Amino acid sequence: MKNILLLTDFSENSINAIHYAVNLFKNESCTFCILHVKSSSSFAMDDMMTAGNESVYSSIIKDAKAQLNSIKVELNNAYKTEKLQFETIIDYDNLTDSINQVIKSKTIDLIVMGTNGVTGAKEVIFGSNTINVIRKVDCNTLVIPEGYKFKKPKAVLLPLDSFDSLSGKAFSDALKFIKVNNSTLHILRINPNGIEPDTQSKDFEHIDFHLKDITNTYNVVNNVPMHFAVSSYIQTNAIDLSILIEQKESIFERFFMGSSTTKIGNHLKAPLLVFHS
């Protein structure tokens, strides 16, 4: 059984990401943990004043708890299957600290979050903190662009740069996902400086060994920035989802090089699934 963590700030964007995730995994046995994190910066003195005889903690989380329960009821009604279970969690903590605690206590396999790509309070969680989650949380993460409606990931893009090879645990995890969804894998080797890396010389050897049962294409792009090459390929090849293999040298940052992380959604045209090496 998979354990999947769904992050929500109750925005339309985060609810859309939740439905995408449930649709993606609805044929597998899954427990979905729906997490809402309250930070101290979201509290005003009025919250303390209006608590009255009620405990401050109870007063603060009452509305959030009701909203989470409403989401849970909606999901149970929409996806009536014994394979899927839904739990709710409210935490008062730093976002990444809270996520790490839940991953440990619930043995989480995947995090799902949305990004709205515009400045504003809601984006504090689902825009600028997206890179923080991927940097500081050692868990595979699925990011859904604002307004992206679910469709089965038939065409999946895997961009590679000089740090990446078609081997290792993260790549094996990516292959499992591709096989389960019967996807076509588009491999895009990108050399921004036009220099062929050592890892590229073994690409066809790895493809012959690992991808015998997977429909795939392989292309090399030279002298083009990574984020531009990926964006152009997605637009011209009807890609349904992109996969990144996260190394110590953050490919996620290179993927969005030259853009503000708080406007990451403006460059994310399809869901992004990050596997940690």
Task: Classify residue 105: in a domain, yes or no.
Answer: yes
Does 103 lie in the same domain as 175?
Answer: no
pLDDT at 259: 40
Does 210 lie in the same domain as 111?
Answer: no
Task: Classify residue 150: in a domain, yes or no.
Answer: no
Does 174 lie in the same domain as 123?
Answer: no
Does 229 lie in the same domain as 163?
Answer: yes
**CA dihedral for 112, 277, 230, 185, sign (positive or negative):** negative
Does 11 lie in the same domain as 135?
Answer: yes
Does 40 lie in the same domain as 103?
Answer: yes
**Which residues have a Cβ under 8 Å from the Cβ of 49 and sit 6 or more positions away?**
none
Does 38 lie in the same domain as 138?
Answer: yes
- Partnered with residue 185 across adjacent β-strands are 156, 216
pLDDT at 8: 93
Task: Classify residue 265: in a domain, yes or no.
Answer: yes
pLDDT at 121: 41
Task: Classify residue 35: in a domain, yes or no.
Answer: yes
Backbone phi, then psi, for 155, in 5-degree steps? -115, 120
Does 33 lie in the same domain as 8?
Answer: yes
CA-closest candidate to residue 190, choices 161, 167, 164: 161
Backbone phi, then psi, for 224, in 5-degree steps? -135, 135
Per-residue pLDDT in tens (0 to 9) along the chain, 277 residues = 799 999 998 989 899 999 999 999 999 999 999 999 987 555 554 555 455 555 666 666 788 899 999 999 999 999 988 899 999 999 988 889 999 999 999 999 999 998 754 444 443 444 566 777 877 899 999 999 888 999 999 999 999 988 788 999 999 999 999 999 999 999 999 998 889 888 899 999 999 999 999 999 999 999 998 878 888 899 899 999 999 887 655 555 556 554 433 333 456 789 999 998 7
Domain range for 35: 2-145
Does 270 lie in the same domain as 179?
Answer: yes
Does 127 lie in the same domain as 179?
Answer: no
Task: Classify residue 111: in a domain, yes or no.
Answer: yes
pLDDT at 250: 54
In whole angstroms, give the CA distance from residue 195 to residue 162.
9
Count: domains in the chain: 2
Task: Classify residue 66: in a domain, yes or no.
Answer: yes
Does 226 lie in the same domain as 197?
Answer: yes
Is the Cβ–Cβ distance between 255 and 230 less than 8 Å? yes
Query: Looking at 115, 145, 175, which one is the last position of a domain?
Result: 145
The CATH number linked to 123 is: 3.40.50.620
Q: Which CA distances in Å does 68 have to 33, 35, 87, 138, 268? A: 11, 8, 9, 25, 27
Number of neighbouring beta carbons within 10 Å of residue 48: 11
pTM: 0.86
Query: Looking at 121, 145, 169, which one is the last position of a domain?
Result: 145
Task: Classify residue 115: in a domain, yes or no.
Answer: yes
Task: Classify residue 104: in a domain, yes or no.
Answer: yes
Query: Looking at 92, 117, 145, which one is the last position of a domain?
Result: 145
**Which residues have a Cβ under 8 Å from the Cβ of 107 and sit 6 or more positions away?**
3
Does 103 lie in the same domain as 14?
Answer: yes
